[in-house]
Every structure is written in C-alpha cells, then in structure tokens.
Structure 1
Amino acid sequence: VERRRPKPKVQPRPPEYYQNLIDQHNETTVKANYADSTKDNLQDIIDKFSRFCAHLPKGPLWRTIIRKCSKGTTIAFLIHICEVDRVKKRSTVHQYYLRFKMLFNRENGRHMNTNDAKEALAYIYGPLTRDYDLDITVKEKPVLCVDDLLLLLNHHWARDTSTFPTERHRVQFALILLLLFATGCRPAELVDAQKKKKKRRWPGLEDDETGDGDVDDNGFEDDEVGADADFGFDDHDSAVADLGSENDGNGSDDDVAMSDIETELRQFDALCYEDVRLLVVRNPVAGERDVLAMEVKLAHHKGAKRRPKPTIFFFTEVDDPIFCPITHLVSLAIADAAFEAPSLTTVERVFEHKVWGPVQCTPLSWKQEILETPIFRQDKKLADSGVASPTLALTYSQFRDCLNRLGLAAGFLEKLTSYCFRRGTANIVDRTATDAVRDQVMRHNPNSAVYNGAYINERVPFDVLSAVLERPSADGILRMLTHMSLMRDPRAPVHPPEDVLAALPPDPSIVELEQQRAQLKAGAYRIQGTEVEAEVRRLTAEINIARTRRQNIISEEYRADYFRRRPLEDIERQNRGQQEEEYTEPVVEHQIPERAQLAELICTHVADITPHDIVARRIHSAGLMVALCRRREVPRRYRLRVALPQPPLIKEESPDLEPFPLV
C-alpha cells in the first residue's frame, strides 16, 4: 500500500510578507472565474463597448471609461447599441444592459450605483423603447405533454424519412427525448455542448491592460444574444435577480466540499456509461419476476464547475416499450458490448436475469475501458459502412438540428426545442410534488422563484370559468388547449413548392455578390493557385450563407402563411357546402426490415396484455433495436416530387383570399 506523502512544512514568513499581501489585494480586484459561456457574453459586451469608446473624443481605452462609468455613459452606450447594431427587441437591450453591469462589477469590484442602475433601466423601458420602436412582445414558451411526446416518438419511429450514417443514431435520439422529458435536464447534461477551443478566445478578459485592440467589428442580431433573452420582465432588476438565483454558480461556496470533486477530468461533459448504473432488483411481490432498474447521475448541470450538485434519477421498467428508457439503454449497451459479464450478450439474458443470494439487487456493471465512453455518440461514415464513433460525443448542434427537423416534420406550429421538454417536466412535477422536489428535479436553488419566472405554463391549466360558476370543468378540452400539439397539422409543408420559389424575385444582395465573384473569375473555371483564390472563396462562402438564410426565411414565412390560410379555406369550403377532404397519411416504406418491424411493434397500442406478454414484447423490441443499431439506411439521392393534382371536371371557385406574398 502506498503511504501518503507528508505535507511539506511551510517556512516562517517575515513580518513584511503578509503586510505586502494586504496592501496588494486592497488595491486590486479579484476576478471571478466565470464559465466559458459567461466569458463569451462578457467578451461580446467588451467588443461593443470598445467600439463605443472609439467614437468618443481621443478614443480612450474601454477600461478607462468603465472605471469612471456614470449614468450618462451607460445610457449613451445603450443608445449606441440601438443605432449601430440590428436590435429590434427590448429584451435584447435589457440583456446587453445586464451584461454591461456584470462587466462593471468585474472591473471595479463593486456593483453599479443603485440609483444610476434604476434610472438606466427606466430609460430602457421609457424613452429608448419609444424612440427606437423596440418590440416589447414576449416570445411564446410552449409546453410539452405526454401526448405530444407520443406523437413525436411515433413519427420518429414510423414516419420519419430522414437518414443517418447508422441507425444507432435513431435509437439514441429516442432515448435522449425520453431522458429530457423524464428528468427535465438541459441538453448539455446529456450531449457535448462545449464550444471549440480557440486561441485567445477572450482577449478583453485574459489581458488586464492590453485587451483593447482585439475587437470584433461584426454586429450582433437579436438571436445571437442567447436563449435567455426572452424573459420579458418589465418592472425592475429584482425579477432578473430572482432568475439569477438559479443554480448558476453565483452563490457562496462555503458548503461545497471541494475535496470530493473528481480530479481526473473526462474528455466530454456528456452522459457516459459511468454515470448510469443498471440493476436487477428483487421484486417485493413474492413470486413475481425480478425487474430491471436504472440510476442516472446528472452531474454536468448549469454551474457544476463552481457549485456541483449532482442529481440521481431512478427509472423502472415501463410496460410500453416506446416509453421505456431501460429498453433503449440495454439495446445500446448490447450493441456496444458494454457489459463486463462476458455472458451478457443478448437482451434475453439481461431482462431474464434473477437475483441470487441474500441481497436485494445485482448490479450489471460495465467494462472498465468503456466507463468514460459517451452513450450518445457521433456517427462516423467509414468507407461503405457507417459506425458510431467510439470516442466522439454527440454535439448539441447535431441534436438540435434533429430535434428541429422532427418538430417540423411532425407538423408542430411552434419551434420544437429541448426547453419544451424541460418546461413540460417542470409543470407536471409542480402539480404532483412539493416545491422542494420540483427545485431538485430542475436543479434550482430553494425558494429561487425561477420556476414561476421562466418555466410556468403561460396557458393557465385550470378552468377558472367553471370554478367561479360552480360547474363541472372540461378537463379533457382544457388538457388539449394548454399544450403545443393543439395547433399541430401534419399537412403543414416544411419547404415551399418549387413553383413558389421560381416566382420569387432574386435577392439583390446575392446577385451583387455573384457579380463580384464573376468579375474576379473572369470566365475562368479553376482558381486554385491564382491571386484571386482567397477572395473568390470568401465570396462563395458569403453567397452560400446568404442563400441558406434566404431559404430558411422563405420556408418559415411560407409555413406560417399555411397555418394562417388553412383555417380560412376550411371555413369557406364548409360554408359553401363542400365535402371535407379526407386526409390520408402518406405511406412510408422502410428500407430496413428491422425498422419496419420495430415501428409496427412499439407504435401499436396493445390493451389487456398479460405480464408475461409485456416482458416478451419488451425483449422483442430491444432485440430489434440491437439489430437496428448495426444497420444503415441508404439515403435517397433525389427528393421525390409530389405530382400536381388533376384539375376537377366541375369548376369550383376558391375563396377570395390574399395570396402568399412573393416579396
């Protein structure tokens, strides 16, 4: 056994040593060790404030101005933001104001004067909003329920036509959706949300006195402020202060035992096999089969590096395989050969294992070499076969794109984000558990009021009219009205038709960029090795970005126009006595037989089923998932065009509605 090394003795210090320390720290400000995302926000506001200082007489350094910052400087800086940057919402200006106050606190070691802060906030909500016509509307925050989750999972397994390098991604994506809804976690607790490391990411923060020259001259739009820019508080800073009391690392660290923190750092802050423990638990009912249970430890929450508060969630078997996280995890573990026991190679042996001896459970441990392997991984395409990368964790951007695409394909009106799941979990737990349990599930500090400020359902889930009239409430209708699947329409188009795109006029900015590129190329096809190669490639990148942005805007507007026009058309057809158009779901033919069998098995609701059949159905579903993880669907090279409907024999007049705007 290795003996602990003795602690070296500290040599006695001279009396002047500690006096010098006192004088040194009295004159300096201790800089807080912020998270990377907080540093990014501070660097953004430093860049903006540096550009503002460059417009002042003699162009002083930004640190010189902020250390003598007054109320007038703050208000002038906010006016500069509205004039220079493309800011349209008041909540965006408010977020910049909060970041500026944080920068002031960091550089001066004290908070901004209370009266100056209140007057600056009053100027934002008064003259600034009026003079620059800032939008004061609050972004809608949809809430997901279990019915919405069932719609998404059914579409994901049975009707989704998107392809992946390997079908393992389809299985792990369904498990991510289940964990998001069952734990209320943020996506960064499951997948890799870290940004790529760059050299000198925060020049204004890393250099105490020389970080004023590196300034990004690009403006920021509203959507670059962050996901938290839509709080929409209109009173005072106390509301935002309450929101800031969420577990973000701003509290005291006196109650944190820093010695308990792991010293070995993992490569990814994503969910790994060592964070999950699978157990076979003895059934408390005598004579019944032993059941599987799962522990999931979520330690990479918001503010975990400064104030770690890991939360452990427990899962048991669910009769319906489409809702069972254990079934999905066992399938991924079998496909990865993750079990330490050599005989656990099939799902039958895992689900049919029994507890022996005078113990309550038998842990199904993982291999040592796979403990730090992420469960949700990227798909790497090697040669002719797609395999999951053994080391690279699934990134947040990849998961976000899949989630947005699923919401569009399923016909939801609102944009589907991970916070739809988190808000849904918070509202369900709030109705069925205590506030302490709700705050623990959401990883909020006790009595922080974060739930009431940012997560509570805007649609009141209570029939107030029936209550005041003392009549029975319509709970079934109210349940539909309070969740995001209310306006769902599976017929909603994801992209506009080609004839609509062809009728749109070209974008002048894109045409100008293409003309500049054509002049540089001068009719030449190959530009590699020429003097204009760098400029041509830069223009090509700008053209591609502009085209993608234009296509996204057109698709969003066309889809929103469909949701506006479709009810009007149905009303007019019904009032003219026309028959209802029968909706027929398109037939989706799956290339992989295992996926077709799995979709038919788990997407079909079975009632009056025996416990033995439930276990057999779960084992069959897990076996198909394991087989599916080893398959890959061949992507379609060309999109199948939908044939135009034949003109009717009898002329029908369409309602006089405003056509889709082409400009």
Structure 2
Amino acid sequence: MAAHKKPQRGHRASRPEGYYKGLRQKLADQGYTQPQYAPATLRNLRGTWKKWTRYCEEVEEEPTPFLKGQNAADYKVFCQWVLDNCAGVNMHSSLHEYWRQLRMLYQKHANDWMPKNLKDDVNNYIRDLTITDKLVKTPPKKPVLSGDDMYVLNFHHWVHCKRVYPDEEQRIGFSLLLKFAASTGARPVSFLDASVKVPDEDARSTTRDEAIRFYDPDKEDPADDDGGEKADFDASELPPEEDLMSVLFEHVTIMLARVEGREELVMYLTLIHTKGEDRKPQPKTFRIYQHENPLLCPILEMISMGFAGNAWAASTVREPKDILLARIPKRKNCRIFRWKEDQWEEPVFREPERSKCGNSPSRSSKPVRAATAARYMKRLGLEAGIEATLTHTCIRRGVGNAVNHRAPVATRNQVMGHSRSQIFQSYINQDVEFDVHAAYLDDPSDTAVIKAMGNMSLTRDPLAPTKLSPDDALAIEQHATVVKLRQQRDALTKRIEQVRRDAGPCENEEEVLLRQLRNDTQAKLLRKRKQLQDHKQKKARKRYFMENDTRELEYDGDLSLKDEDEAKPAATTYALEERACIASMLCRPPVICTNPALWSSDAS
C-alpha cells in the first residue's frame, strides 16, 4: 500500500517589528483576493477574453473599462454577439457558460463580485434569447458504459484492433487504463498528466487579459509544459513526478493474500490526485482481486507493466509465473511483491522515449497525457462500432451507476469524489434501469433484458464507417478555407526558396520570419482539416446508424442475416507472436462474458 508523503515545513520565520501592521495595510489596499483557477479553466477564460476583445473592437470600446462598466445592456449585447458570431453555440447551456465565464473575468478585473440584480437581469435576457433564437435546452444523451460493454471493447482491443501504437507497451498500458477506470470510477487526472498546455508569449494574442496572465500556471509549475525545448532546461529542476498528476508505481501494491484457506492475488490501488485536491485532498485506496476472466483483470496487466519497466525488486522474479505460482509461508498471511526503490516515483503510464529515429525501446519518465488517452479511447470506440463517442466519462458514469445500486450514498460519494450528493445527478443514467412496466403489472422482471437494453454495445455495428469516403475527402480539400490556407502556405514556401537563393547558405532574419509564418499557416491548415474531417465523419456515422437498419430490411429476405461472413471483421495479422498467443486464448464470442465460469482460472 502506498505511503503518503507528509510535507515538511521549515522553521517559522522571525518577523520584524511592525511587519503585521504593514501587511494589514497592504492587504487592505489590495482588496479582494483572487481565486486560483485550474489550468483548464484559465484556458477557457482566455478564449472568452478573446471573444470579448473582438466584441469590444466592433463597438469601439476598450475591453477592461468596458467590462467593469456594470452596464447590463453591454453584457446582453455580448450574448447576442456570441450567438451571431460563434457557429457552435446552439444550446442554452453553451450561451450561459459564456456568461458565467464573463462574470469570472469581471471578478478578476473589478476585484469584486458582480451585483446580483445585474446577474439576474442578464440571466432573464438569456432565457428570452433561448426562446427567440430557438436554442436547444434538452441536455445531450449521456452514454453509460456497462461491464458487458467493457468486455466488448477489451475483446476488440486485443483481438481485432489493427491500429499501430508507438510500441506494444502502449497497448498494454491503454488496456490497463481502461480497467483502472472501471475499477475506480476516477477522473483521468488521477491516472494521467491532465495538465493544460499554455501557449507561449509569441503564440498568444497581443490583446490579452492581464489578470489571467498574472495567474499563468507556466510560471508556477513547469510540469505544465508539453515537452518544448528551452535553452535553460535542466533535468534536475524537474518537479517530483507526484506533481505531474499521475499514478506512480508506489501507489500500486500487488500481493498474494491468504483468504479462507486459499491464496488469492490481490492489488491495492491508491489515488492521490483528485479534482480539487488543492483545496481538500481526498486520497483513497481501492482493493482489487484477480478476476477469472483475463480480459477484465487489471492485476495481470499491471504485472506485465512491471516486467516491461524492469520494476520488480526481487531478482528471482524474472517472468510472470514467478508471481502467479508463488506461495505464502505458513507463518504469514500474505506475500508482497515489492517494486525497486528507483521505480517508486515513476509513472505507471509512460510515454515512449522519442528520438529522431522513432521510438526508443527505453522508457521515459514522462507520463502519458490525458489527451493522448482520450484519442486512443475515441479511436477504439469507432473501430469497435460503438454508435456514441467513447470517452472516459462514459466509464465513470457506468461505475457511478453500478455503485449507486449496491452501496450507500456515502460510499458512492467517496468513489465518485463528490462533496455533495446532489452532484451525482449529473452522472445518473438517463435510461431508467428499473422495470417499471413489470412492477406496475406485478409481473416478474426479466433483468437480463433490462440490462442488455442499457448497454452501449447493443447498437454497435463493426461495419459502421471509420474513414472518410472519397467524396467527403475531396469536399474537404475543396473547402474555401482549406484552399485559401493551402495557397498561403505554398506562396510562403516559394518566397522562402527565393530568399534562400538570394541570401546564400546563411539564414537571414527575413527567412526566419517567413518560416514562422509558414509553420503557423500549416498549423491552421491542419486544424481546419481535422475539424472538417471530424464533422464529416460524425455526420456519416450518424447517417449510417439512422439508415442502415432500414436499408437492410428493404432487401428481399434481409440478405444481411443470410450472409454470416458480411459482419465478420477481416482477419487480423499480428506482428508479434505474443499478441497472437493472447488473441488465440481470448478469441471467443463476446456473449460468454455473462458466463465467466467458461474461463479457466489459470491466468498463466
């Protein structure tokens, strides 16, 4: 079990005479103490500040004095401006979020709360806009990932997935992350580096919110940097890995425990980093035992991660059977498999070492970023044929609803990390999980049917499109913005070549500036392409799931039911013999997840 580090406080400072009197006057002059926002909140505030600045340019006002003016009409017009100029704002909640962030900006600049009557006035106007502009008030569908869905995803990940990871250790690590999330219901910040990359000084807008700049987390925590090279970089100045907001090896303990005369492989998982830990830390330890289904057992994959990192302290532990076949001395009730001391503060989920030649087999000490895991998760859901977008929150909702049925409210709040019971209403399953019809008729309920009807994988279709059609790809390349950015990039490239020919082998200042402009244009082009690709793909998949069943039924006799090979995934060729062995062991129909007894308990 992980030991919590107790911070050591130095000796109390000796204050000079009159210090507290001067401090009192200083704090009185300073006024309201600004809150410390999370990096993600600061990023959102920067976006709102940019929109406020653009709005001020149109009405010919200075941003800061205009914000502090306390004129309700100015804030109301800003809400209307957001609806007119931000194409993605079509929900009441989105518009209200902009208003909430604008109040936070007012609080920073005015050093005071916005008057309540002013807030109520603008809130009433937003309600009127919701009606006149026909904004959507119905909350979006909130998918809930069940245990059966987790089995389907793991089965596809190990047997049918053809995607290439930086190295195969990342495949194991991602599978372990899914199981850790399903075993704890924790947020990504508990396992991964969820820090937000803050743009540097050159990349930011020239008109910025100085109040936000004052709380720039880059100046307080270098762990927020995303690996960009700096001239004064010193590895000794890196913060402890615990500051990187990731789960470490010291937070995981694997042991063999004697329970009622038998020996069981168990694991303790301690989560140190939680949401709001700077205000009220709430570390918690989860107890996990070996599952007889290898696809759902996190202990086996954690053992694999230990061997991949050469992390086991005992020199006799050279292969998995040394752990799986170990025995407990009669005088003891457990045997703990310790990690090497130099591995205690290493992240469990680590990025591969990057180099010019590709990924090095050696591992870095940099934890996997939450954005990387989110990309893997979304990709897995697409390839597995899941209709809804797969996110970490889907797993968290599934865990919360499962615990809600079996545990008291206090335990549910502890697992979910909620300070108040009302917060769980945001996670509760929108599909009623109780058989109301059977209860009303006083009939026995078919719980298996009710459970299956709530699975995300119920509507999955492996034939759903995962790539753009040629017509969609051509439409993206012919999009007006893409064409314009591509022409700008090509023109800058030609200009760079001309300057290079005129200047000779030495790079001059003009060429450096042109290269920067070309790189910025290329980045904008890639972002626009990705935005259009995501939109086209989402639209194509939605159309497929809406129309495919009808299209299949219109065939004479429903040919899709007769052609059994149609829905079968293409044969997968495995580059590694080890993965082929795992796939052959796991290659059984997903329906057997309801009968774990069919699996052998011999995990070796």
Q: TM-score interval w.r.t. the shorter chain?
A: 0.7 to 0.9
Measured after TM superposition, the shift of residue 578 of structure 1 is 9.4
Deviations 1:164-200 (A, max 9, x none): 2321111111110011111101112111111235556
Aligned equivalent of 1:507: 479
Within 5 A, what are the aligned runs for 1:168-207?
Answer: 168-196=169-197, 198-199=199-200, 204-205=210-211
Mapped partners of 1:543, 1:358: distance in 2:
67
Measured after TM superposition, the shift of residue 115 of structure 1 is 2.9
Mapped partners of 1:140, 1:402: distance in 2:
22
Measured after TM superposition, the shift of residue 342 of structure 1 is 1.7
- Pair 491,608 (structure 1): closer, same or farther in 2 beyond 3 Å: closer
Aligned equivalent of 1:114: 116
Aligned equivalent of 1:144: 145
Mapped partners of 1:10, 1:93: distance in 2:
51
Mapped partners of 1:113, 1:369: distance in 2:
55
User: Which of 412, 418, 426 is matched with 1:438 structurally?
Assistant: 412
- Pair 60,511 (structure 1): closer, same or farther in 2 beyond 3 Å: closer
Q: Per the alignment, in what secondary structure is the counterpart of residue 305 of structure 1?
A: coil
Is 1:268 matched up with 2:241?
no
Within 5 A, what are the aligned runs for 1:24-43?
Answer: 24-27=26-29, 28-43=31-46
Q: Per the alignment, in what secondary structure is the counterpart of residue 618 of structure 1?
A: coil
Q: Percent identity?
A: 26
Aligned equivalent of 2:541: 559
Mapped partners of 1:356, 1:591: distance in 2:
41
State whether residues 352 and 359 of structure 2, in contact with CA within 8 Å, keep that contact through their aligned partners in structure 1: no
Measured after TM superposition, the shift of residue 68 of structure 1 is 4.0
Deviations 1:495-548 (A, max 9, x none): 144366558882233233344455566699787568555544444443333333
Measured after TM superposition, the shift of residue 293 of structure 1 is 1.6
Aligned equivalent of 2:231: none
State whether residues 521 and 527 of structure 1, in contact with CA within 8 Å, keep that contact through their aligned partners in structure 2: no
Mapped partners of 1:405, 1:6: distance in 2:
49
State whether residues 397 and 429 of structure 2, in contact with CA within 8 Å, keep that contact through their aligned partners in structure 1: yes
Mapped partners of 2:104, 2:277: distance in 1:
20
Aligned equivalent of 2:316: 343
Within 5 A, what are the aligned runs for 1:288-437?
Answer: 288=262, 290-356=263-329, 358-380=331-353, 383=357, 386-437=360-411
Mapped partners of 2:212, 2:487: distance in 1:
42
Within 5 A, what are the aligned runs for 1:151-170?
Answer: 151-170=152-171
Q: Per the alignment, in what secondary structure is the counterpart of residue 242 of structure 2?
A: coil
Within 5 A, what are the aligned runs for 1:42-191?
Answer: 42-56=45-59, 59-62=61-64, 64-86=65-87, 87-126=89-128, 128-191=129-192
Q: Per the alignment, in what secondary structure is the counterpart of residue 267 of structure 2?
A: strand
Mapped partners of 2:417, 2:497: distance in 1:
57
TM-score w.r.t. length of structure 2: 0.82
Higher fraction of helix: 2
Is 1:481 matched up with 2:471?
no
Question: RMSD of the alignment, in Å?
Answer: 3.3
Measured after TM superposition, the shift of residue 19 of structure 1 is 4.6
State whether residues 158 and 599 of structure 1, in contact with CA within 8 Å, keep that contact through their aligned partners in structure 2: yes
Deviations 1:439-459 (A, max 9, x none): 000001143x1111x101111
- Pair 70,494 (structure 1): closer, same or farther in 2 beyond 3 Å: same
User: 5+ unaligned residues in a row in structure 2: which ranges?
Assistant: 1-7, 217-238, 501-506
Name the amino acid aligned to 2:424.
Answer: Y
- Pair 109,346 (structure 1): closer, same or farther in 2 beyond 3 Å: same
Measured after TM superposition, the shift of residue 314 of structure 1 is 0.9
Name the amino acid aligned to 2:41.
Answer: T
Measured after TM superposition, the shift of residue 420 of structure 1 is 0.5
State whether residues 43 and 205 of structure 1, in contact with CA within 8 Å, keep that contact through their aligned partners in structure 2: no
Deviations 1:109-157 (A, max 9, x none): 543333332232121121x224444333422110000111111000000
Q: Per the alignment, in what secondary structure is the counterpart of residue 318 of structure 2?
A: coil
User: 5+ unaligned residues in a row in structure 1: which ranges?
Assistant: 212-262, 620-663
- Pair 154,527 (structure 1): closer, same or farther in 2 beyond 3 Å: farther
- Pair 609,35 (structure 1): closer, same or farther in 2 beyond 3 Å: closer
Q: Per the alignment, in what secondary structure is the counterpart of residue 42 of structure 1?
A: helix
Mapped partners of 1:384, 1:53: distance in 2:
47
Aligned equivalent of 2:222: none
Name the amino acid aligned to 1:274.
Answer: E
Name the amino acid aligned to 1:493.
Answer: P
Aligned equivalent of 2:221: none
Is 1:602 matched up with 2:586?
yes
- Pair 303,523 (structure 1): closer, same or farther in 2 beyond 3 Å: closer
User: Which of 560, 564, 575 is matched with 1:591 structurally?
Assistant: 575
Within 5 A, what are the aligned runs for 1:491-570?
Answer: 491-498=463-470, 501=473, 506-518=478-490, 533-570=515-552
- Pair 191,526 (structure 1): closer, same or farther in 2 beyond 3 Å: farther
Mapped partners of 2:267, 2:383: distance in 1:
32
Mapped partners of 1:318, 1:172: distance in 2:
18
State whether residues 109 and 211 of structure 2, in contact with CA within 8 Å, keep that contact through their aligned partners in structure 1: no
> Would you identify which runs of 4 or more consecutive aligned residues in structure 1 move more than 6 Å?
522-527, 575-579, 606-611
Aligned equivalent of 2:430: 458
Deviates more, 1:486-495 or 1:86-95: 86-95
- Pair 71,352 (structure 1): closer, same or farther in 2 beyond 3 Å: same
- Pair 550,537 (structure 1): closer, same or farther in 2 beyond 3 Å: same
Q: Per the alignment, in what secondary structure is the counterpart of residue 282 of structure 1?
A: strand
Mapped partners of 2:111, 2:124: distance in 1:
24
State whether residues 463 and 567 of structure 2, in contact with CA within 8 Å, keep that contact through their aligned partners in structure 1: no
Mapped partners of 1:414, 1:8: distance in 2:
56
Deviations 1:373-420 (A, max 9, x none): 111111236648752523121111221111111100000111011100
